[in-house]
């Protein structure tokens, strides 16, 4: 019965995708949900739904990547983000028979201490805004090469005296061909809505449709990934200065076909000579065009990751400088609790 339900959800995702591509206008809240807690995905451009890696921290990207191979695996993630923000998560996975698995996790997004003021400009004290996400995931092998998965997310936000609660759902499907080392994925993320509002207005979740492709080159140690995201909206215009060297130069709107296409795509290249080690580099053109300033930060849009797998511990790190004013660093740890018996 569980497999039938999951199959229905995955089929619904496949039929929903073509009709939803142009449906969203971009005005959403809860955009912290777009920040991954996986160092592997973060180093490959910030989003990757098709990379195959037995790491419990990765599966918040796509619940269909979750499988029985992570039985009794515990993972922890921490990132020092921009502006003094700190993100952390903990996840646990368990097999549910030979062809299924479940996982549970908690994510914390803290934004540091802020000063509060009333409408008259009088300081009311300090507060610590934060978001907490509790996630439950389930996956099942639909066939020998196809796996489907679903995650439900309970989202609680607290900003000074304002509080809100929302529920989101991720639906994913993955096709993996081990002979060609080819992985294809599709995910519908953050379906759902707000149950308790901050105030009178209703805030929508940043729901998205994503497609992913990962394959090794000639079954060698190099593998490439292409991830298409923000597929609920084709046009992603942005402003660019006419003269990049002049901070006072006039702005021009960029919204042609090529610009829109590449702002939907994330490219990544990895070198993984064995299951014990990998290094990767990602490029996100949307981050590049959104964050580059007149000082022309070369690193904006690029990110890097590396991982090491020992007998008892997996360690992953990622680095990015999305803006010249801030550098981000993420670290992941995971271990199989069976190793400590």
Q: Give the model confidence (pLDDT) of 118-153 as tens digits.
A: 777 778 778 888 999 999 999 999 999 999 999 999
Q: Which residues pair with 177 in a beta bridge?
A: 182
d(CA 304, CA 308): 14
Q: Does residue 55 have a pLDDT over 70?
A: yes
Instruction: Check residue 97 and give its pLDDT.
Output: 86
Dihedral (C-alpha) 57, 61, 65, 69: value to the nearest 10 degrees? 0
pTM above 0.95, yes or no: no
Phi first, then psi, for residue 148 (nearest 5°) are: -115, 155
Q: Does residue 13 have a pLDDT over 50?
A: no
Question: H helices of the chain, where?
Answer: 2-20, 39-43, 257-262, 285-291
Q: Does residue 24 have a pLDDT over 50?
A: no
CA dist list (Å): 48 to 23, 32, 213, 224, 282: 23, 16, 9, 11, 10
pLDDT of 75-115, one tens digit each? 999 998 776 788 999 999 999 988 999 999 999 998 888 78
Across the chain, mean pLDDT equals 85
CA dist list (Å): 320 to 296, 307, 324: 15, 15, 10
- Name the pLDDT band for 69 (thresholds 50, 70, 90): confident
DSSP string, 116-134: EE-TTS-EEEEE--EEEEE
Coil, strand or helix at 90: strand
Give the residue among 186, 184, 202 at the shortest CA–CA distance from 194. Answer: 202
Q: Does residue 42 have a pLDDT over 50?
A: yes
Arithmetic mean of pLDDT, 165-187: 95
First to last CA, the chain: 34
């Amino acid at each position: 019965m569980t497999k039938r339900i999951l199959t229905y959800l995955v089929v619904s995702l496949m039929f929903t995708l073509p009709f939803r591509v142009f449906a969203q206008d971009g005005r959403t809240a809860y955009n912290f949900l777009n920040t991954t807690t996986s160092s592997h995905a973060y180093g490959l451009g910030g989003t990757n739904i098709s990379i195959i890696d037995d790491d419990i921290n990765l599966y918040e990207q796509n619940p269909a990547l979750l499988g029985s191979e992570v039985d009794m695996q515990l993972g922890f993630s921490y990132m020092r983000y921009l502006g003094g923000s700190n993100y952390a998560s903990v996840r646990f996975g368990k097999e549910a028979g030979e062809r299924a698995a479940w996982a549970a996790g908690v994510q914390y997004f803290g934004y540091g201490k802020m000063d509060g003021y009333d409408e008259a400009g009088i300081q009311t004290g300090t507060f610590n805004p934060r978001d907490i996400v509790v996630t439950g995931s389930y996956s099942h092998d639909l066939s020998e090469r196809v796996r489907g998965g679903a995650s439900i997310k309970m989202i609680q936000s607290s900003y000074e005296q304002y509080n809100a609660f929302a529920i989101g759902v991720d639906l994913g499907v993955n096709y993996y061909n081990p002979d060609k080392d080819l992985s294809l994925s599709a995910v519908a993320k953050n379906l759902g809505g707000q149950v308790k509002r901050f105030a009178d207005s209703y805030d929508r979740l940043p729901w998205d449709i994503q497609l992913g492709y990962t394959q090794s080159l000639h079954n060698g140690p190099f593998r490439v990934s292409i991830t298409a995201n923000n597929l609920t909206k084709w046009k992603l215009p942005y402003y660019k200065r006419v003269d990049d060297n002049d901070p006072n130069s006039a702005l021009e709107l960029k919204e042609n076909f090529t610009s829109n296409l590449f702002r939907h795509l994330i490219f990544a290249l990895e070198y993984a000579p064995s299951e014990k080690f990998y290094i990767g580099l990602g490029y996100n053109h949307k981050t590049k065009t959104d964050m580059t300033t007149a000082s022309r930060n070369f690193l904006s849009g690029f990110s890097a990751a590396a991982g090491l797998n020992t007998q008892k511990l997996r360690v992953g790190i990622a680095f990015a400088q999305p803006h010249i004013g801030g550098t981000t660093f993420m670290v992941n740890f995971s271990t199989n609790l069976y190793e400590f018996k």
